[in-house]
A = this chain, B = another copy of it.
Amino acid sequence: MKVTRRELIAGAAGAMALSQTARSEAQAPTDPSKVRGKPPRANGERAATAKVQRLVRGGTSSGTPHQDLMGTITPSDLHFERHHGGVPEIDPASYSLLIHGMVDRPTIFTLSDLKRFPSHSQIYFLECSGNLGRTAGPETTPGQLAGLTSTSEWTGVPLATLLREVGVHKNAKWLLAEGTDAAVLTRSVPIEKALDDALVAYGQNGEALRPEQGYPVRLFLPGWEGNASVKWLRRIDISDRPFMTREETSKYTEPFADGTSRMFSFRMDARSLITHPAFPTRLERGWVEISGIAWTGAGRIRRVEVSTDGGKTWASARLQEPVLPLAHTRFRHLWEFTGTETIIMSRAVDETGYVQPTRAELLKLRGPGTTGYHLNPITGWVVQADGRVIYKEEPWA
């Protein structure tokens, strides 16, 4: 708002007086500069007026509240969680990882053994392959829709280093990763990925993993479906063939329209999501920065296009630099909301040229028997004439 010279008479005093008239909640002191503040503390806490939480869904997951976040880093206590047998409690002093099977030297590594090896840190996204929540109709938030993806800086020892250490046989092709949770989750992973960028991770955003992220140690497979990044990792068995576990036969296989099926569909496809404005925001007329996140398991996001007219025309959004591979990329696009109802949407294009599809395109490709996994459709938000923003599924017209 603009102010006149008269309103400003005493500079800051004027500002304080103005803000006092606008005061709505009386919890904070009227003039905070007249009151001694709080002392330092061992662990900071969020402001009472800026609490933010994950959305807990049943007994097996919680999602990142994208509508409340900005930038790209997800605070660790807001990183999504997904588990099949709850979050186990593991004593780090007795933790161990066994690597055996087609190796010269079967070895058990303690946590301190793992930390003696050269480490690697990198900012990566993680996404559950089932990251398309059942929507709650118009009142669906970005977190409800796609809260099962988050970005952290992960630290650990490259799995390739450990495999050299144990002497993996030349004809090894797959490994089994096994967790210590009540589900004893197991997944088969191709040895190529293990030798490429897989991490045996013990750190997240500078500190130890959080319990729900696999404390003290998890597998981390950059760009791949979260389920394969086995948490609470206790065993790696090396073999010349996949292990065909329950997780990859009954659950994570996708039938396609052409009659084929896709097993071991590890890589997450490119996707984007507008996180503001979205439900439950209510827009005022005027300029607004449309903002969201985009990511791809194929590497870097090349471009994000935004439409503010229901998909008729598209413009390239600004991407937050540096665009890191296999990490959430923040995109931004300035738009003037004039009070006319419209639909806003975004679509990601990754460095391979892959274009995020519409739901119709996805369903055509995947066929009537499609599972709920690996779905990455364009999301549309209706901005109503009164500024209310609601979710609307395709078809939008």
* Interface residues in chain A, defined as those with a beta carbon under 8 Å from any beta carbon in chain B: 1-3, 5, 8, 11-12, 14-16, 18-20, 22-25, 27-29, 32-50, 52-57, 59-62, 68-79, 81, 83, 85-98, 100, 105-110, 113, 115-123, 152-155, 178-182, 184, 203, 205-213, 215-216, 232, 234-235, 237, 286-289, 291, 318, 320, 322, 324, 330, 332, 334
Question: Which of B43, B44, B98, B207 is the one whose CB lies under 8 Å from A211?
Answer: B44
Q: Which residues of B contact A49 (CB under 8 A)?
A: 91-93
Question: Which of B20, B79, B115 is the one whose CB lies under 8 Å from A44?
Answer: B79
Would B98 and A320 count as touching, CB distance under 8 A?
no
Q: Which residues of B contact A41 (CB under 8 A)?
A: 54, 56, 62, 212
Would A113 and B332 count as touching, CB distance under 8 A?
no
Would B3 and A107 count as touching, CB distance under 8 A?
yes
Q: State the oligomeric state as a number of copies.
A: 2
Q: Which residues of B contact A89 (CB under 8 A)?
A: 27-29, 32, 37-38, 47-48
Would B1 and A44 count as touching, CB distance under 8 A?
no
Name 20 extra pairs, CB < 8 A, besides A32-B89, A37-B86, A73-B153: A1-B110, A11-B100, A15-B108, A15-B234, A19-B95, A24-B93, A32-B182, A33-B181, A39-B59, A40-B87, A40-B212, A43-B54, A44-B54, A44-B78, A47-B215, A71-B121, A78-B206, A118-B289, A119-B332, A322-B324
* A and B contact pairs by CB, cutoff 8 A, 5 listed: A3-B107, A33-B234, A36-B86, A42-B54, A52-B208
Q: Which residues of B contact A234 (CB under 8 A)?
A: 12, 15-16, 33
Known: A23-B91, A91-B27, A211-B47. A42 touches B53 (CB 8 A): yes
Q: Give min CB distance, A245 to chain B, whole Å.
A: 14
